[in-house]
Structure 1
Amino acid sequence: MRHRTLGRATAAALGAALLLSACGGSDDEGGDDIVGAKNSSSASPDGPAVEEDPDAPAFDFPGDLKADVEPADTGDDKKDAVLRDQGYALSAMVESYGQQKATANFDRYWQDPAYTNYVKDFERFADEGQRIAGTGRYFNREVRQVEDGSALVVFCEDQGGGYVVDAKTGERIGSGDGENSAVLRLYRQTLTRTDDGTWTVTESDWTEGDGTCR
């Protein structure tokens, strides 16, 4: 498994691949097959409604940035708790890219080693006077294992709706329609349950362009 930081590649591309979920590791040997993703991340009107969490954290996104996290309701209390907090972790990551720093939400839902890898990426964007805009879409979230305070979640990311802007002016940098602008990634994340019951992301690895997310 090869680990690399991707924020620098994103800034250099300036209109090619936009990475709304930029850090973690890349596994080029392929991974779990996740299929059947919908074009929209919203729940089906014919499906069961997902109850909103009254204690959900508040996120502070710039007006041109959105985290589109597909709801997940498995009917299993343990798995649903994992997916709830993992969804908050994804939103906190996108929020931090928009703020160019680790936010309080990111501090809550992420731990090392994944935490430090992402913070380095936030700092790169800040140093270059750039930030992420557009929409990060996350779907087909599934708990593969949960036991003894540890859980494994796999999910897909659609990068096609993201782009880079100048942090001060909000002006778009590059066309954002390069050949890799709609790359789908399959992610595997390890989460750990803290003493207060919060599930936090500790490891985040991905496989790109293998056709398993569609």
Structure 2
Amino acid sequence: MGTTSPSASPTESESSKAGRPKIELPADLSYSFEWPKSGDQVKDAILADAEQSIKAVDLAIVNQDALDKAYLYYYEGEAAAGTQKFIQNYVDQKAGITGRYRFYAPEVAVDEDGTASFTYCEDQGRAYVKYLETNKVRRTEVSAQSYVIYHTSLKKNGEGVWEIQKIVSQSGSAKCRP
């Protein structure tokens, strides 16, 4: 662990991170990404960009900005439009998020045409809405709806970022329930 594969020099991987938005989230948000490195450089880059894209959406909610530049760095087209509406819903309700998010069961497939598909699960059982004006947290019981599956389509852009082109989610996924 901690060694660089001969096919990727440290300067290559470091420079590919240059220009990426810095995502700093409040201490009341925590994440568990249970998607270990695959050993495949392309798949691992997709996993890394997906992790940042998830945090970038949460940053937009925290910032109460449906056009926050951090998530727009990782989302394009249809996915960006849908995500903007998702974030705007929080802004309209003057709501933020708090708690713990867990992501697991990643499945990545890369096509020869430079596109990829990525499916993963999210456990929202310990994640909550927080109303900003009152600081009141809406705690919900864990139910089947707490387990969400996401299906994404990605394409690598000219800067080497795996952008999400399409995203579909389904709450209550049997595949994601323990």
TM-score, structure 2 normalization: 0.79
Percent identical: 25
Q: Retained in 1: the 8 A contact 2:30–2:99?
A: yes
State the one-letter code of the partner of 1:116: A
Task: Quote the offset at 1:159 in angstroms.
Answer: 0.9
- Tell me the equivalent position of 1:88: 52
Q: Retained in 1: the 8 A contact 2:61–2:91?
A: no
Q: Does 1:189 align with 2:127?
A: no
Task: Quote the offset at 1:156 in angstroms.
Answer: 0.7
Q: Does 1:74 align with 2:4?
A: no
- Tell me the equivalent position of 2:130: 165
Gaps of 5+ in 1: 1-47
Which residue among 156, 168, 178 is the counterpart of 1:205? 168
Identify if the C-alpha distance between structure 1 residues 57 and 205 changes in structure 2 by more than 3 Å, giving closer, same or farther.
same
Query: SS of the counterpart of 1:61?
Result: coil
Query: SS of the counterpart of 2:111?
Result: strand
State the one-letter code of the partner of 2:105: N
Q: Retained in 1: the 8 A contact 2:125–2:142?
A: no
Q: Does 1:125 align with 2:90?
A: yes
Q: Which has the higher contact order (CA 8 A, sep 6+)?
A: 1
Query: SS of the counterpart of 1:159?
Result: strand
Q: Does 1:140 align with 2:114?
A: no
Task: Quote the offset at 1:136 in angstroms.
Answer: 2.0
Q: State the Cα RMSD in Å.
A: 2.4
State the one-letter code of the partner of 2:123: D
What is the CA–CA distance in structure 1 between the aligned matches of 2:171 and 2:100, rounded to whole Å?
Answer: 18
TM-score, structure 1 normalization: 0.67
Runs of at least 4 residues off by over 4 Å:
48-51
Deviations, residues 174-194 of structure 1 (Å, cap 9, x unaligned): 3322645x6212211101111
What is the CA–CA distance in structure 2 between the aligned matches of 1:179 and 1:211, rounded to whole Å?
Answer: 12
- Tell me the equivalent position of 2:71: 106
- Tell me the equivalent position of 2:9: none
Task: Quote the offset at 1:145 in angstroms.
Answer: 2.9
Which residue among 119, 123, 126 is the counterpart of 1:154? 119
Deviations, residues 100-121 of structure 1 (Å, cap 9, x unaligned): 2243220111112011111112
Identify if the C-alpha distance between structure 1 residues 50 and 66 changes in structure 2 by more than 3 Å, giving closer, same or farther.
farther
State the one-letter code of the partner of 2:174: G
What is the CA–CA distance in structure 2 between the aligned matches of 1:121 and 1:50, rounded to whole Å?
Answer: 39
Gaps of 5+ in 2: 5-12
Tell me the matched-pair count: 164
What is the CA–CA distance in structure 1 between the aligned matches of 2:93 and 2:3, rounded to whole Å?
Answer: 39
Q: Retained in 2: the 8 A contact 1:69–1:91?
A: no
